[in-house]
Amino acid sequence: MHRVRIPVAEGVLDANETIARANREDFDRAGVAVLNLMSAPGSGKTALLERAIEAGLGETRIGVLEGDVQGSLDADRIAGLHVPVTQLNTDPGFGGECHLDANMVRSALPEVALGEIDLLVVENVGNLVCPAEFRIGEDARAMVCSVAEGEDKPLKYPLMFRSCELVVVNKVDLLPHLDFDLEKLRANVAAVNPEAELLTTSARSGEGIEAWSEWLAALPARRGAPA
Amino acid sequence: MHRVRIPVAEGVLDANETIARANREDFDRAGVAVLNLMSAPGSGKTALLERAIEAGLGETRIGVLEGDVQGSLDADRIAGLHVPVTQLNTDPGFGGECHLDANMVRSALPEVALGEIDLLVVENVGNLVCPAEFRIGEDARAMVCSVAEGEDKPLKYPLMFRSCELVVVNKVDLLPHLDFDLEKLRANVAAVNPEAELLTTSARSGEGIEAWSEWLAALPARRGAPA
């Protein structure tokens, strides 16, 4: 087998970091904890947010910033639960941006009612590569992976798994119908990120939703602690 | 709900188009048909290629160019089937590129034995956004979507579905265990790409693998026809 490696430009990331710090200062001033929630397309981020909101988040007042290439399908679902939601679309270009960056989030902040919430969940564009490269001023990062995607994803997309403190393994109701080894996934996550916390959930059966809701609800209290 | 839209730069795409044409000339000279195979992470591209190679492709001699951020897990699987395979990694940058572009493919061409194959399948990086924006000199584009990803993906990632002539709906063995409406997916695909052909497959049960293999094997004969 032959191998070829391709160099990548990094210049844009410095500017992103500067804007991410400005976002962070705004969030700090408002006393809002921010979660950057990432995954591949169709892993179940929105369904998990719906279940957590339905389960209740204690005293924590949540708001959602929905990042999508196009449309407002997910924002419409969240708005149906009477939670403040802002839609951020990345599509006016040729095919749309594949991730949110700090400046996109910054452009949406005037529309986000920071004074009325304690926790802002930013649902990133479904993609396991670029979202991990652009900080947006978040306090914490979590990702969702579905058991239907296979156990090898931490090895193929290591930066994403490495950059998150929580990995939510979703759709575990499908395990009896898949050739999927949960212990192998745990080992692959640990190989790239030994510090990562791991939750198993099913938005369909409700398994693990209580632990997921509690994790979300606890984020504002942890704000300010090193991410 | 509030909405914000973000403009996107397009300059890089002109250069890509020029290099894609150069690739295409090389493929034409060698008489090789090229398929750009795309999907979200974990939709089953590699498993579908394995099943097609095992099923046999008639007289068609296949080669594979594996695009991954990091590692060679998929290339190792294909190499195990005694098919010529080249690994193209995009990871030397900060987090790796999220797609293949024409220049990356061009850099790999000296390692691809074009004289010994009739069909080159380029397995792109798992991502439903950027791979659709960069032509690589291909004759045809196909994408795989797994039924575990939900029916809404054509509406959320329309450029990807619009840019492909074949949509392979994979993992249909999971249908009895999902709240998934195949007819709704068909309607959503038709809404963004009425011309798209649609195949339903399961790499696990073997359903639809014969039709998929035949579609692949027929590509070289269609080469030169408008894509």
Inspect the interface and report whether the beta carbons of B112 and A174 lie closer than 8 Å: no
Between CA B20 and CA B41 the distance in angstroms is: 24
Q: Which residues of chain B fall below pLDDT 70?
A: 1-11, 92-95, 224-227
pLDDT at residue A94, rounded to an integer: 47
Contact between A156 and B123 (Cβ < 8 Å): no
- Cβ of B4 within 8 Å of Cβ of A87? The answer is yes
Q: List CB contacts (< 8 A) between A6 and chain B.
A: 88-90, 92, 97, 104, 107
Interface touch A153/B90, C-beta < 8 Å: no
- Name the residue of chain B whose CA is nearest to A161's CA: B95
Smallest Cβ distance to A73: which of B2, B152, B204?
B152
- What pLDDT does B224 receive? 58
pLDDT (mean) for A69-79: 93
Which sequence spans correspond to the domains of chain A? 8-220
* Mean pLDDT value of segment A106-118: 95
Fold of domain A8-220: Rossmann fold (3.40.50)
Q: B-chain residues within 8 Å CB-CB of A4? A: 86-89, 104, 107-108, 111
Range with lowest mean pLDDT among A8-12, A186-190, B107-111, B145-149: A8-12
Helix, coil or strand: residue A159: helix
pTM score, whole prediction: 0.92
Residue in B13, B108, B126 nearest the CB of A94 = B13
Q: Looking at residue A91, what is its pLDDT?
A: 78
* Shortest CA distance from B93: residue in chain A: A8
Q: Nearest residue of A to residue B89 by CA position?
A: A5
**Is there a contact between B98 and A127 if contact means CB atoms under 8 Å apart?**
yes
What does the block give as tokens for A112? 């986000």
Residue B187: CB atoms within 10 Å = 12
pLDDT at position A227: 42
Residue where the block lists tokens 């759709």: A171
Percent of chain A exceeding pLDDT 90 equals 86
Answer yes or no: do A3 and B87 touch at CB < 8 A.
Answer: yes
Which of B172, B178, B180 minimizes the C-alpha distance to B205? Answer: B172
- Give, rounded to a whole angstrom, the gap between the first and last alpha carbons of chain B: 41
**CA–CA distance from A89 to each of A85, A101, A109, B7, B129 (Å)?**
13, 12, 14, 10, 13
Enumerate residues 116 to 175 of chain A having a beta carbon within 8 A of any beta carbon in chain B: 125-130, 132-133, 146, 148-150, 152-153, 155-159, 171, 173-174
Whether B72 and A3 lie within 8 Å, measured CB to CB: yes
Interface test with B, best of A19, A94, A193 (most B CBs within 10 A): A94
pLDDT of A97 reads 87
Q: What is the ipTM, given to two decimal places?
A: 0.89
State the pLDDT at residue B13.
Answer: 79
Backbone angles phi, psi at B164, to 5 degrees: -110, 145
How far is the C-alpha of A170 from the C-alpha of A150, rounded, in Å? 12
A139 versus B95: the higher-pLDDT residue is A139
Q: Quick one: pLDDT band at residue A226, thresholds 50, 70, 90? A: very low
Mean pLDDT for A92-119 is 88
Q: What per-residue confidence (pLDDT) applies to B226?
A: 46
- Cα–Cα dist B169/B186, whole Å: 10
